[in-house]
């Protein structure tokens, strides 16, 4: 028997992967969670049938969502991750020596529990003493923590169900208030090819709130379209104009100092979406 | 009834698209050709079940494979396309005013015939008087035309069957000889994530022959992994160090002057594949 898992990427297109073994499948309080073992992509986490991460390509997403803001901020001490229950962002954050505390605010305890069990390469730093895990709603959390974080990373699922509020202007206002006076935030913001309206709306909302708003791209093989956007809102530091000579050497699989700037150079159709000249 | 076409991207992963209508399906002398109409991606050309191009995202591939070499060469007059029977590369080449002649050497007449019929937005320049169409083997063609072209574009299918010889060192020797003394060539060279060995071997082969060898990337939503490599071999001009201020303004959907340089800035894992420091 062959078993294949099918991910609906858009209404009339799907990606399908051969599954060696289903490690866990459960209905959590919030979503349909599965971790499966595939031949070519290693272990794969799916939430509501959407691929969140695989052990083969997770480094692209986690390195880029973390190191762009953390190497932009000159001295990030306190970092918040909203979502990100797999722990990949926390793992990368804690590689930064300046970081004293990284809070993970994940709404679904089961994501953390199952990723700790089945994705140890990704979740390996969740037990680090510098990591504080909060099970709860990220929207509520940022509202209740003002002027506290140097960096906030919104590592969410797609803008549906529980995550929908993480793509709205009100949330970005609260993120702004939760950041210190020189804070910076980044969010994963989908494929500009498949969801141009989401990219446009988020960018426009963030730009109304933050003095510096930028979009950068990364090639993530297991995400729809493979070419993924991240939106940065920053109070003081421009991520594209960071002095890369001051960035310490750290072994990476995707991020490089040159790419730190080049990833902000956008194709014309994406410039058009966000209204960049 | 719903009809879906399935593209095996790697051995255990496939992309599948809902098909509104099959416009043509035939076994040609060389391959299984299909052009189908899809809802989200427009019309789609498949050869041996592999997506070659869609009307929705074809501009990424065609702009990048053409404008990087043609804006690097200061005065490209004669250009050869090996493969590329859909005509997209020819369309972009003929936008360059310096070009006096563009030869398309395509092995499969049926590709040209059907693309002219069903993909007019892509094939629209194949009847241009500056375009010469040769039905034949590109390997033989370059062997027989020495010191003739300013730019050669290898717009091939994947390295299988008829296209396998287009990914070998002997072919690149002939391409070198077919170029003028300041000529430049580019080839599509697959996904570094899924086919690192192909990228590595081609880059190594080209580097043995050309004094300047570079790899650049583009985000192509309908290709496996979505993040695609192109390899450039150049006798004189460095595509990464072109004076972009001299590039004329032309309306584009993907290519920009800034991206002309930024697309050569590679993620670490791709640098590792090609042995770049």
State the sign of the Cα–Cα–Cα–Cα dihedral A12, A199, B218, A276. Answer: positive
- Are the C-beta atoms of A190 and A199 separated by less than 8 Å? yes
Q: Express each pLDDT in B206-229 by its tens digit.
A: 999 999 999 999 999 999 999 999
Residues B45 and B37: their CA atoms lie apart, in Å, by 9
Q: Which of A14, A17, A224 sits opposite B12 (nearest CB)?
A: A17
> Interface pTM (ipTM) of the complex?
0.96
**What is the domain partition of chain B in residue ranges?**
3-51, 58-274
Inspect the interface and report whether the beta carbons of B268 and A256 lie closer than 8 Å.
yes
Inspect the interface and report whether the beta carbons of B16 and A16 lie closer than 8 Å.
yes
Inspect the interface and report whether the beta carbons of A40 and B258 lie closer than 8 Å.
no
- Are the C-beta atoms of A268 and B252 separated by less than 8 Å? yes
Nearest CA distance, A64 vs chain B (angstrom): 10
Q: In chain B, which residue's Cα lies nearest the Cα of A262?
A: B262
A52: closest CA among A123, A101, A100? Answer: A123
pLDDT-derived band at B157 (thresholds 50, 70, 90) equals confident
Eight-state DSSP code of residue B41: S
- Are the C-beta atoms of A13 and B221 separated by less than 8 Å? no
Within 10 A of A24 (CB to CB), how many other CB atoms are there?
A: 15
Most distant CA pair in chain B, distance: 58
Containing B52, the helix (H) or strand (E) segment is: strand B50-54
Q: Which residues of B are part of the catalytic machinery? A: 155
Count of pairs with CB atoms under 8 A, one residue in A, one in B: 129
User: For A88-97, b where at least 16 C-beta lie within 10 A, e where not — what string?
Assistant: bbbbbbbbbe
Per-residue pLDDT at B162 exceeds 80:
no
Chain center to CA of A5: 23
Residues of A engaging B, defined by a Cβ cutoff of 8 Å: 6, 10-18, 38-41, 57, 60, 191, 193-194, 217-221, 223-227, 252-256, 258-259, 261-262, 265-269, 271
Return the residue in A193, A247, A252, A270 with the most chain B beta carbons within 10 A, the one to mutate for interface testing.
Answer: A193
Residues B127 and B116: their CA atoms lie apart, in Å, by 9
Residues A102 and B170: their CA atoms lie apart, in Å, by 54
Eight-state DSSP code of residue B67: H
- Does the A3-51 domain belong in CATH 3.30.365.10? no
Return the residue in B11, B36, B193, B267 with the most chain A beta carbons within 10 A, the one to mutate for interface testing.
Answer: B267
Q: Which two tokens stand for residue B254?
A: 């993907």
CA distances from A33 to A48, B100, B210 (A): 6, 59, 51
Residues of A in contact with B224 (CB under 8 A): 221
Inspect the interface and report whether the beta carbons of B40 and A268 lie closer than 8 Å.
no
The yes-or-no answer on residue A150 being catalytic is no
- The three-class DSSP label of residue B250 is coil
Per-residue pLDDT 10s for chain A (277 aa) are 899 999 998 889 999 999 999 999 999 999 999 999 998 899 999 999 999 999 999 999 999 999 999 999 999 999 999 999 999 999 999 999 999 999 999 999 999 999 999 999 999 999 999 999 999 999 999 999 999 999 999 999 888 777 788 888 799 999 999 999 999 999 999 999 999 999 999 999 999 999 999 999 999 999 999 999 999 999 999 999 999 999 999 999 999 999 999 999 999 999 999 999 8
Eight-state DSSP code of residue B165: G
Residues of A in contact with B268 (CB under 8 A): 252-256
Residues B67 and A76: their CA atoms lie apart, in Å, by 41
CATH, domain A58-274, list 3.40.50.150, 3.40.50.720, 3.30.70.1350, 3.30.720.200: 3.40.50.150
Nearest CA distance, A88 vs chain B (angstrom): 18
DSSP per-residue codes, A24-87? EEEE-SSSEEEEEEESSS-EEEEETTEEEEETTTHHHHHHHHHHHHHHHSSS--EEEEEE-TTS
- Write down the catalytic residue from A48, A86, A150, A155: A155
């Amino acid at each position: 028997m062959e078993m294949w898992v099918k991910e609906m990427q858009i209404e009339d297109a799907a990606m399908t992967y051969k599954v060696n073994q289903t490690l866990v499948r459960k209905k959590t309080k919030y979503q349909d969670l599965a971790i499966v073992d595939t031949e070519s992509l290693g272990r794969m986490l799916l939430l509501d049938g959407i691929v969140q991460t695989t052990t083969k390509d997770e480094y692209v997403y986690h390195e880029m969502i973390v190191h762009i803001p953390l190497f932009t901020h000159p001295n990030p001490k306190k970092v918040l991750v909203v979502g990100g229950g797999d722990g990949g962002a926390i793992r990368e954050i804690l590689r930064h020596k300046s970081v004293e505390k990284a809070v993970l605010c994940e709404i679904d305890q089961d994501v953390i529990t199952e990723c700790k069990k089945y994705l140890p390469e990704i979740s390996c730093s969740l037990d680090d003493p510098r990591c504080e895990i909060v099970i709860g709603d990220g929207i509520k959390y940022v509202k209740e923590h003002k002027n506290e974080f140097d960096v906030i990373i919104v590592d969410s699922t797609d803008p549906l169900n529980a995550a929908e509020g993480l793509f709205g202007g009100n949330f970005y206002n609260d993120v702004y208030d939760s950041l210190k006076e020189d804070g910076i935030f980044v969010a994963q913001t989908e494929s500009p090819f498949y969801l141009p309206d989401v990219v446009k709306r988020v960018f426009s909302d963030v730009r109304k709130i933050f003095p510096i708003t930028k979009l950068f791209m990364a090639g993530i093989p297991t995400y729809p379209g493979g070419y993924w956007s991240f939106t940065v809102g920053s109070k003081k530091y421009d991520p594209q104009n960071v002095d890369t000579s001051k960035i310490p050497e750290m072994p990476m699989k995707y991020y490089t100092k040159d790419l730190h700037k080049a990833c902000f150079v956008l194709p014309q159709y994406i410039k058009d979406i966000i209204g960049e000249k």
